[in-house]
Amino acid sequence: MILRVLLSAILLFFEHSVSAQYALFDDPDNIKLVKQGTRFIYNQQPDSAELIIVKVSEQLPGHPVVPMMRALAISWSVFPMKTSLPEFAKHEALLQESITAAQKLLDANKDHAEGVFFEMSARGMLAEYYADDGNYMKALGEARKTYGLIKSGFDLVEEYPEFYLTTGIYNYFREKYPQRHPIYKPFLWFFRSGDIELGLEQIHTATQKAVLSNVEAHLYLSYIYLRYEMEPVKAKDYLLRLTDQYPDNQYFKAKLLECYIMYNEFELAEPIAERFLDADNPYYLLLGQSMKGYLLEKWIKAKEPAARFYNDALATGKLTDKGSYYEAIAYLGLGRIDFQNNNKEAARRNFETAMSINDNDMIEKEAKRYLKEL
Residues 43, 46, 48, 52, CA torsion sign? positive
Banded model confidence at residue 17, pLDDT cuts 50, 70, 90: very low
Least confident of 156-170, 311-325, 339-353: 156-170
Banded model confidence at residue 57, pLDDT cuts 50, 70, 90: very high
pLDDT digits (tens, 9 = 90+) for 114-166: 787 788 888 988 988 888 788 878 887 887 887 777 776 676 667 667 678 88
Banded model confidence at residue 259, pLDDT cuts 50, 70, 90: very high
pLDDT digits (tens, 9 = 90+) for 182-194: 877 777 777 788 9
Q: Are 8 and 216 in contact (CB under 8 A)?
A: yes
Mean pLDDT of 93-97: 97
User: CA 240 to CA 177: how far, in whole Å?
Assistant: 26
Alpha helices in 158-302 (DSSP H): 163-180, 196-209, 214-223, 232-245, 250-262, 266-276, 282-295
Question: Pick from 145, 137, 59, 41: which is nearest to 102 by CA?
Answer: 145
Mean pLDDT of 361-372: 93
pLDDT digits (tens, 9 = 90+) for 270-303: 999 999 999 999 999 999 999 999 999 999 999 9
Q: Are 337 and 297 in contact (CB under 8 A)?
A: yes
Beta strands in 313-356, from DSSP E residues, in sequence order: none
Query: Which carries the bigger pLDDT value, residue 321 or residue 113?
Result: 321
Mean pLDDT of 59-76: 91
